[in-house]
Structure 1
Amino acid sequence: MGFHTFDASRADKLERAGRRYRFLSAEELLWALSLSPEDTVADLGSGTGFFTDDVAPHADEVYAVDVQEEMHEHYREKGVPENVELVTSDVSDLPFDDEGVDAAFSTMTYHEFASDEALAEIRRVLAPAGRLVIVDWAATGPGNDGPPVDERYSADEATDALRDAGFTIEHEAVRPETFLLIATLE
C-alpha cells in the first residue's frame, strides 16, 4: 500500500480549486487545525502549496514539506507567502527541533508516507498538546478520484496507526471517497 508520490509533471492539476475543495474546504481545514496566530505549522506533503496558502494567513510560520523539489519549484513560480518556508524532506526525517511545531497536517498525502517511522517523527516534532490533521483518500471509497484503492488506507487503519504512535483521536469523519482525522498527543 501507498508510498508513491504524485507525478510532479502533473502539478498543475493540484491547483484546480473546484476539484480540491470538493474533498476538503479551506474552512474545514482551518476548523480542524484550530490555529492561533502565533502557531508554527507543518504541511506534510505540501505539493504546490495549495492548502499551505490557505493556512499561511492564520499562522506565524508554516513549513511546506515535500519530498519532491520539483513541487517546490512549482510553488516558487506561483509565489510563496512570506511566512512559508519550503522544506525538501521525507516525513520520516523532518529537520525540525523536538516539539518545534504546534500543528501539522496532511491533505491527500498520508498514503504516500504512512509508516511507523513517519508517525514517530511527527510525534517528535509536535509540541505538547500538538494537533495533527489528516485528510486522505479512503480505502473504502469507490476509487473514482485519487490514487488506486489498493494504495489507500481506511480511516480505521489510520486511526489504529495513530493510536499506536501515541496519538489520541479527537475527531473522525468518513466520507464516500475520503476521511478526516484530528489527532492530538496523549
Structure 2
Amino acid sequence: MAHHTFDADRAGSLEDAGRRYRVLSAEELRWALELSPEDTVVDLGSGTGFYTDDIAPHADEVYAVDLQPEMHDFYRHKGVPPNVDLVTTPVGEMPLDSDSVDTALSTMTYHEFATTDAIAEIHRVLRPGGRLVVADWTADGEGQRGPPRSERYSLAEAAATLEDAGFTVEFEADRPETFLLVATAQ
C-alpha cells in the first residue's frame, strides 16, 4: 500500500504533546524499545523529531530517517540533540550498514512506508535479535484522526507482513484508534 506522507506545511502540529501522548506516551515507547545507553536506534519517519527527542537521552546514537527535507529543517530549527543524525531518505533506501542498528521504531508512520522493500531494508539494518517497535493508526480503528482508513493497516496485517519478512512478533496491542507491535529480527 504505502501512500502519501504527512504534509510538511503542518509540521508544527506534530509538536502537540497532548495529542501525541494520547496515542503513545513517552513512557510506553521507552518500555517497548527496551533501550540501553549503548544502543544505536533508527527512527523511521522521524518527522519533527517529537518522539526522537524522547528516546535520544536513552541511546548512544539515533538516526532520524525522514523522506522530507522540510521535516528535518523544522527539527534543526527546533534543536537536534547531539547524538541524533538526520538522514533524508526513503525507509527502503537507508544508507546504514547491515546489522548496525539495535532498535528501530515507527511512530504513526508505518502506513507511509510499509512495502516489502522497506520492511526488508529495516530487517537488513537491524542486528539479529534487533527490536522493531511499530505504533500506528489501525485500519480497524475508531475516530477521525490519522490518515484515511484506506491507507491504514490492521494489527493482524502488520504482524503478518513482519513475520513474512523474518521478524518474530513478541507483543501486540490493538487499541481503539491505534495498534502497538513489538517484533525482533531473526
Opposite residue 160 of structure 1, the aligned amino acid is A
Residue of structure 2 equivalent to 1:150: 150
Residue of structure 1 equivalent to 2:109: 109
Opposite residue 125 of structure 2, the aligned amino acid is V
Deviating above 4 A after TM superposition, structure 1's stretches of 4 or more consecutive aligned residues are none
**What SS does the aligned partner of 2:76 have?**
helix
**What SS does the aligned partner of 2:121 have?**
helix
Q: Distance in 1 between matches of 2:2 and 2:178?
A: 15
Q: Does residue 166 of the first structure (1) align with residue 166 of the second (2)? A: yes
Q: Distance in 1 between matches of 2:61 and 2:68?
A: 21
Identity of paired residues, percent? 69
Question: 1:25 Cα shift?
Answer: 0.2
Report how many residues are paired: 186
Q: Distance in 2 between matches of 1:25 and 1:82?
A: 23
Residue of structure 2 equivalent to 1:5: 5
Cα deviation digits, residues 83-131 of structure 1 (max 9, x gap): 0000001000110000011000000000000011001000000011100
Matches for 1:133-144 after TM superposition, within 5 Å:
133-144=133-144
Residue of structure 2 equivalent to 1:90: 90
Q: Distance in 2 between matches of 1:103 and 1:138?
A: 22
CA RMSD of aligned residues (A): 0.7
User: Unmatched 5+ residue regions in structure 1?
Assistant: none
Q: Does residue 73 of the first structure (1) align with residue 104 of the second (2)? A: no
**What SS does the aligned partner of 1:3 have?**
coil
Q: Distance in 2 between matches of 1:40 and 1:185?
A: 15
Q: Distance in 2 between matches of 1:91 and 1:22?
A: 26
Question: 1:143 Cα shift?
Answer: 4.0
